[in-house]
Structure 1
Amino acid sequence: MTGAAEAPGEGVVGSGPITVGAARATLTAPGAAYELHEVVVAGKSVHCYRNAPPHLRAVFESTREYGDRDAVVYEDERLTYAQQYAAVARTATTLREGFGIGRGDRVVLAMRNLPEFVIAFWACQVIGAVAVPLNAWWTGQELAWAIADADPALAVMDGERWRRLRDAGFPMTGLPVVVTRAEEDLAGAIPWREIVPDHTGTGELPDCDIGPDDPATILYTSGTTGRPKGAVGTGRNHCSLLMAAGFQGEVGRLTQPSPPRREPSQPALLNPFPFFHIGGLSSMYLAGSGGVKQVLMYKWDTARALEICARERITNLAVVPTMLRRMLQGLAAETYDLSAVTAIGIGGAPGAAELSDAAAARFGSGVSINHGYGLTETTSSACQHNGASFAARPDSVGLPTPGTAIRIVTEDGTDRPAGAAGEIWVRGPQVVAGYWNDPAATATAFQDGWFRAGDIGALDQEGYLTVLDRAKDVIIRGGENVYPAEIEAVLHDHPAVQEAAVVGLPDHDLGEIVAAVVVPAGSAAVTGEELREHARRGLAAFKVPAVVVVRDAPLPRNATGKILKRLLREELAAAG
């Protein structure tokens, strides 16, 4: 198909022992570990991994073999794989027998990256329940809206999220809530210790019949026109991502021009990505599938991250460009032993290419730099590359993962030729089933098996994708997506505001910061700080504009009345 690319079987990149194309062809050949076969999913033919686990329960069952290895490290707390297995078995049994939760029931998880999240997530997968992670940075009102939308049978949260909901007036009746790490009176909530009093026992998982296309997660992604949308991920979606990650690791190993560093007996991952993002969630279950020690952070702190990397002998980093940039700056100022690092995954925001040389210079040529392209709706990476491939084409996001097809199309759906720009469409085993409770949005974004990513890109002759522009007006602040429409709606609620427009401004550290331009209503007087305070009451902190400009002149518009945000960006940049 013109303008569409599937994972090609040839294409010379780099100077490794074999070419990228040869490595991909070998790994996906009949009888090989990553062989593909055709499966009908929701009435559409999809190329899937023949050897993929059927669901995430099967992935968790395989973790039992890792026994006394460290599974999760958080501050001074450690859980071995045996302890994690026992805790998950006990939690899964309680969810089923104590709360009557079963296949298809939703369970909200609202907390920071804590060991309890890992246990509760796996417990959901064991009994076929749908895990619904909520953004831990949301306000109480945002959390309450998502809980009402998901209609869960149970909510598990930490004390901070519990306080936000209570302060927002969330009704504390009708929904069982389990709360962990809260010092105050829980006012009717169930303490986590009653669910998992300790981590002892051998543990047996409850029986459950789970299908590969059963929903496994609902991940809320910020909407361009208002409320977030819940992307419904299936077991097949997540297990396809797991296979794609293993496949890409093998491609990197086979094509790496320099010998990789020797890993310690147990690989260790620093996972600072929040679990409510597909990047953090997938890193969590990928770590489990490989018996990796996963080290959690409550929130990002560069000095703390460097200390953890040295102490825990971290081999794998999963970071956004802002985090890596800060780590490199910290390494320039202080001495830390990061000699165990063998791989760095950079995702979540633009900027990987500019950091690749600095990272290679600091960590050495034996360290693999990984990059790719994906969204919540594609269960993380739809394209990936690393090692020789990334070194040769750092401005590209790589080739489609096996079974994934990429189209570049015009506004009317016509395929574009190689090298020409257009909207990115994705099809494959990692594309989610649709949006929860939103058939209109699903019909718009998912068409005939294809997901319309909205981003602008181009495919070259060999099938490598380059992303040229982001979807609509999205701002990526430190790896977190911020959609102007949501912020503009909050600003318009202020009685002194007649017009409001939100744009992103370049920032060396965060990538972009949020800026708002406001026109007062009539003779009303309002300051930027007043509007920032107003925004804080209705928005998570990362969405609150860092810059608010109040102007008397109307906002610039085109002939059809659309605000010309490009001009606003130029004006703000010129003003400093």
Structure 2
Amino acid sequence: MSIPVGEEGLTPSHSPIYALFALAAARYPDKTALIVGTRRLTYREIATRVNHLAAGLAAQGLDAGSHLGVVLPNGIEFVLLMLAAARLGLVLVPQPMGSTGEALAKAFQATDVRHVALWHGLLPRLVDSTALASIAGTRICAGGGASPAGWIAFESLLLPPQPLQTQREPSVAAASHPYLMVLTSGSTGSPKPILLSQETKVARARAAIDLYGLHAGDCILTATPLYHSLAQRLVLIPLLIGATSVVLEHFSPTAWCAAIAEYRCSFSIAVSSQLKQLLPDLHANRQTLTSLRCLVSSSALLDTPTKSSLLEALSCEFHECYGASEIATATNLHAQMDSTKFGSVGKPVPGADLLILDEQGRTASAGNPGEILCRTPLAFSGYYAQPEKTQAAHLNGYFRTGDIGKIDAEGYLYYLGRLKDLVITGGINIYPKDIEDLLTGRLGIEECTVIAVPDSRLGEVVGAVLATGVGRQAPDLRAVQRLCAKCLNDAQQPRHYFIVDQLPRNAMGKVDKPALRRRFATSEGSAA
């Protein structure tokens, strides 16, 4: 039994993602819907494969509420699985391809994963790991040839069911039930699985569609890992509105520019580290990127010099957004229209309400720093099986982001860093961004990030990690010290300098400060 598009009884209240996709497929059956590498699928072809996959998964015992761990690369398989899971009401738990067996075991345990879809190339490394020991249900192997014993080939689930084969009638979950569990990044402590419903994913998609004026004529490029909430939203948006979705299997500046030029992509959201890598190629390929109508920077904050360089290289709208997996996009900066507010991350998007909470728990006045709190209809449903942490993350209906910022008199938000990255020296709060902004791009310093270094007298002091770029000469630390002495107050002065070629980053391009703290916290570094 196949599951036809638009099956009677399937309403948006059950699966709004599948219902919207089915509507797009009915309107544009022969239009190219998805491009990954050399592979292209029309809306009709995707609908057929999703129907077969949903029936195949149901036949294997997966039904509404089943938790399915997903360790797949950017590819057609991942996209089909997202749509089939929406159809059935499954709960997907995507994980990075580079995860160790130990990390996967921790993630699967925290999310009660009982089924898994794994890329074939990972089997030799993970088949005997503790990560798979708790998988009592279906094991799916994708992308390879014959599957090992005990595993089902993903490709076999895409075949039409046999006419006489008895199939379980798949059930569907309500739209407000969990659809995705996205685990918070971080290298220490227990993971916090962020619950996102189909209802929320659709609301987030619609918010982006309205904010950036997206429509069926767009071609939208996804170039970040699909296990992350941002990429999931970006790859779904075109499939819900009848546009074309292009997914990069692996990001590189050359591949990104080539995809824009070949497929005439009009919109994308990139992480800030990608944009920094793209700058030379954007300048060099400006004439071939004319289809790009709007580009958005997400994840980590861009420094002002990079924003200026991007505006010089681009001939399209450029935006920068601030948000988190728990709340989606909270603010948006239109770089061309808000050119006098370059240091900010913009104003709240429609529906979002921000406030800044000072150290005494009071609402901070304009221009004064504190923790950023956000109330939004796009918020997550809580942390899975962690009610205490869910409660602690909220205050009077606002989500506590754990970020530090300030809002000026005109309502623009300025991001100052993470609360956990704050340096408290002799009782004085030091915001890393003040020092990072001063040193980045000057005196031979490609990038700078600031960490707290323990100090017996002051508790902790400022440590500046200076990245020079691979193969480049170390900066003149005395010149760096003179600049800091001129522009920073005494408490802000870095007491330690650490020279590296490049700053370590996670898959979403954010600087891995915990790794730097582990590496340098007990080191004396260099003194100018």
Which one of the candidate residues 245, 265, 269 is aligned to 1:314?
265
Q: How many angstroms apart in 2 are the aligned matches of 1:572 and 1:167?
A: 41
CA deviation after TM superposition for structure 1 residue 230, in Å = 0.3
Q: How many angstroms apart in 1 are the aligned matches of 2:267 and 2:233?
A: 14
Q: How many angstroms apart in 1 are the aligned matches of 2:349 and 2:372?
A: 15
User: Which residue of structure 1 aligns with residue 477 of structure 2?
Assistant: none
Which one of the candidate residues 505, 516, 523 is aligned to 2:465?
505
Which one of the candidate residues 394, 399, 414 is aligned to 2:362?
414
Name the structure, 1 or 2, with higher relative contact order (CA <8 Å, separation 6+): 1
Residue identity matched to 1:356: K
2:319 matches 1:370: yes
1:153-172 equivalences under 5 Å are 153-171=114-132
Residue identity matched to 1:383: T
Q: Percent identity?
A: 25
Normalised to the residue count of structure 2, the TM-score between the two structures is 0.74
Which one of the candidate residues 335, 353, 357 is aligned to 1:405?
353
Q: How many angstroms apart in 2 are the aligned matches of 1:293 and 1:151?
A: 34
Which one of the candidate residues 239, 252, 263 is aligned to 1:301?
252
Q: How many angstroms apart in 2 are the aligned matches of 1:296 and 1:147?
A: 26
Residues 78 and 507 of structure 1, relative CA distance in 2, 3 Å threshold: farther
User: Which residue of structure 1 aligns with residue 387 of structure 2?
Assistant: 439
CA deviation after TM superposition for structure 1 residue 360, in Å = 2.5
User: Which residue of structure 1 aligns with residue 487 of structure 2?
Assistant: none
User: Which residue of structure 2 aligns with residue 92 of structure 1?
Assistant: 54
2:46 matches 1:81: no
Which one of the candidate residues 137, 141, 153 is aligned to 1:175?
137
Q: How many residues align?
A: 443
User: Which residue of structure 1 aligns with residue 33 of structure 2?
Assistant: 71
Residues 138 and 77 of structure 1, relative CA distance in 2, 3 Å threshold: same
User: Which residue of structure 1 aligns with residue 294 of structure 2?
Assistant: 343
CA deviation after TM superposition for structure 1 residue 287, in Å = 2.1
Structure 1 unmatched ranges of 5 or more: 1-50, 200-205, 254-262, 477-481, 486-500, 511-534, 536-541, 556-567
CA RMSD in angstroms, aligned pairs only: 4.0
Contact (CA 8 Å) 2:219, 2:263: kept in 1 or not? yes
User: Which residue of structure 1 aligns with residue 240 of structure 2?
Assistant: 289
Q: How many angstroms apart in 2 are the aligned matches of 1:165 and 1:339?
A: 44
Q: How many angstroms apart in 2 are the aligned matches of 1:354 and 1:129?
A: 44
SS across alignment from 2:420: coil
CA deviation after TM superposition for structure 1 residue 241, in Å = 1.2
SS across alignment from 1:350: coil
2:111 matches 1:150: yes
SS across alignment from 1:240: helix
2:94 matches 1:133: yes
Q: How many angstroms apart in 1 are the aligned matches of 2:393 and 2:514?
A: 29
Q: How many angstroms apart in 2 are the aligned matches of 1:337 and 1:52?
A: 43
Which one of the candidate residues 170, 173, 186 is aligned to 2:148?
186
CA deviation after TM superposition for structure 1 residue 208, in Å = 5.3
Which one of the candidate residues 45, 51, 61 is aligned to 2:22?
61
1:434-473 equivalences under 5 Å are 434-473=382-421
Q: How many angstroms apart in 1 are the aligned matches of 2:469 and 2:299?
A: 14
Q: How many angstroms apart in 2 are the aligned matches of 1:198 and 1:313?
A: 34
User: Which residue of structure 2 aligns with residue 6 of structure 1?
Assistant: none
CA deviation after TM superposition for structure 1 residue 70, in Å = 1.6
Q: How many angstroms apart in 1 are the aligned matches of 2:195 and 2:469?
A: 33
Residue identity matched to 2:252: D
SS across alignment from 2:403: strand
1:185-264 equivalences under 5 Å are 186-197=148-159, 210-223=173-186, 225-250=188-213
Which one of the candidate residues 280, 289, 294 is aligned to 1:329?
280
Residue identity matched to 2:196: G
Q: How many angstroms apart in 1 are the aligned matches of 2:131 and 2:312?
A: 51
Contact (CA 8 Å) 2:68, 2:92: kept in 1 or not? yes
User: Which residue of structure 2 aligns with residue 528 of structure 1?
Assistant: none
2:315 matches 1:354: no
Q: How many angstroms apart in 2 are the aligned matches of 1:73 and 1:149?
A: 34
Contact (CA 8 Å) 1:55, 1:210: kept in 2 or not? no
Structure 2 unmatched ranges of 5 or more: 1-11, 162-168, 423-431, 434-448, 453-460, 471-503, 505-510
CA deviation after TM superposition for structure 1 residue 191, in Å = 0.7
CA deviation after TM superposition for structure 1 residue 574, in Å = 5.1
Residue identity matched to 1:111: L
1:478-517 equivalences under 5 Å are 505-507=465-467
Q: How many angstroms apart in 2 are the aligned matches of 1:502 and 1:176?
A: 50
Residue identity matched to 2:209: G
Q: How many angstroms apart in 1 are the aligned matches of 2:235 and 2:144?
A: 24
Contact (CA 8 Å) 2:222, 2:248: kept in 1 or not? yes
Residues 573 and 334 of structure 1, relative CA distance in 2, 3 Å threshold: farther
Q: How many angstroms apart in 2 are the aligned matches of 1:346 and 1:84?
A: 29
Residues 227 and 506 of structure 1, relative CA distance in 2, 3 Å threshold: farther
CA deviation after TM superposition for structure 1 residue 83, in Å = 1.0
Residues 244 and 335 of structure 1, relative CA distance in 2, 3 Å threshold: closer
CA deviation after TM superposition for structure 1 residue 53, in Å = 11
SS across alignment from 1:370: strand
Contact (CA 8 Å) 2:63, 2:172: kept in 1 or not? no
CA deviation after TM superposition for structure 1 residue 210, in Å = 4.2
Q: How many angstroms apart in 1 are the aligned matches of 2:312 and 2:291?
A: 15
Q: How many angstroms apart in 2 are the aligned matches of 1:340 and 1:104?
A: 41
